[in-house]
Amino acid sequence: MHSTGQWFLQLAIGISFGLLLFLLASGFTLTFGLARFVNLAHGAVFLVAAYVATSVSEAGAPFPVAVLAATGTGLALSMLTYAVARLRWRRMEGDVLAQVLLTFGLLLVLADFARSHWGGVPRSVPTPTPLDGSIPMGGAALPVYRLFMIGAALVVAAGLWWLQDRTIFGALVRAGVDDRQMLEATGVRAAPLFVAVFALAGALAGLAAGLGTPVLGATMGQEFEVLVLALVIVVLGGAGSLRGAFLASIAVGLVDAFGKALIPTFAGFSMMALVVVVLAWRPNGMLAAVSR
């Protein structure tokens, strides 16, 4: 990267990828923070939603319809995960190992379904015509779609901020993350909040998959890749903190983009180095919910 344009290009790639990860990880961190539930099936929800978006697009539907289909798929699969978990909720509550085993099993089932239904063949969605272009900058070309992803994700992030900080639902979720027993002692039932948060998490994962298909496509193995990144973001940002997830997502996206551009051989190491540095500074995450 010898030109200013190349730096701007990597910056745009890093921020757009980071914000896409925020959409994926925001619901994941709220589920973990509020319900104390480790949902490893989240990665497979992203995978299946991405494949659904490609199928809808191949059927001739416009791009917004494909994104809506992916969002609906994410919501439905997340609620399926909740329904399965609910059958043994009392036994699994507080038992992280049981949660991991159950949801990892669901991840494998959903991944095998995607493999059998779509043949395990990588697919993608064409970039929408109005966004299929680039903006020249300093000798490099910034993809318009990347800029669109940044704008769309920021709008969703602003909506999540409003939902969390300016609504009764958000206040109840924050209270449940901070002290669920105290929330239930006031007469508020936590179960409906769990359902709403699971639904929101699935819809956001599906939205991320739909918006990401023109760039990331849909391919087997993606379920593990995005799951690892979501876990890194939760650890870095602090469980239950949307602000922390936002900051961690941007950091992960930038480290991923610049790491692959500057030191491709050690790109994986640069991600782990970020985790070590942040946790050495803030063991509970950048903005852990317990610190509010």
What domain range includes position 27?
4-291
In 3D space, the residue among 207, 211, 172, 215 whose CA is nearest the CA of residue 193 turns out to be: 172
Residues 6+ apart with CB under 8 A from 23: 153, 156, 204, 205, 207, 208, 211
Q: From CA 211, how far away is CA 31, in angstroms rounded?
A: 22
SS3 122: coil
CA dihedral 42, 47, 49, 53 (to 10 degrees): 160
pTM above 0.75, yes or no: yes
Helix 4-35 × helix 242-262 angle, to 10°: 140
- Do 17 and 256 contact (CB within 8 A), yes or no? yes
Q: From CA 251, how far away is CA 205, in angstroms rounded?
A: 19
CATH number at residue 268: 1.10.3470
CA angle centred on 191, ends 189 and 193, rounded to 5°: 85
Give the pLDDT of the chain (292 residues) as one tens digit per residue.
556 767 788 888 899 999 999 999 988 888 887 777 888 999 999 999 999 999 999 999 999 999 999 999 999 999 999 888 887 766 777 778 888 889 999 999 999 999 999 998 999 999 998 888 888 876 778 889 999 999 999 999 999 989 888 888 888 877 776 777 777 777 777 778 888 888 999 999 999 999 999 999 999 999 999 998 888 888 888 877 888 889 999 999 998 888 887 777 766 777 777 777 877 777 766 765 443 3
SS3 50: helix
Q: What is the predicted pLDDT for the residue at 44?
A: 95
- Enumerate helices (H) and strands (E) in the chain, giving the number of each: 12, 2
Q: What is the predicted pLDDT for the residue at 53?
A: 97
Q: From the CB of residue 21, how many other CB atoms can be counted at a distance below 10 Å?
A: 25
- Do 67 and 210 contact (CB within 8 A), yes or no? yes
- Do 255 and 270 contact (CB within 8 A), yes or no? yes
Tell me how many domains the chain contains. Answer: 1
- Do 54 and 222 contact (CB within 8 A), yes or no? no
- Do 199 and 78 contact (CB within 8 A), yes or no? yes
DSSP symbol at 286:
T
Q: What is the predicted pLDDT for the residue at 71?
A: 97
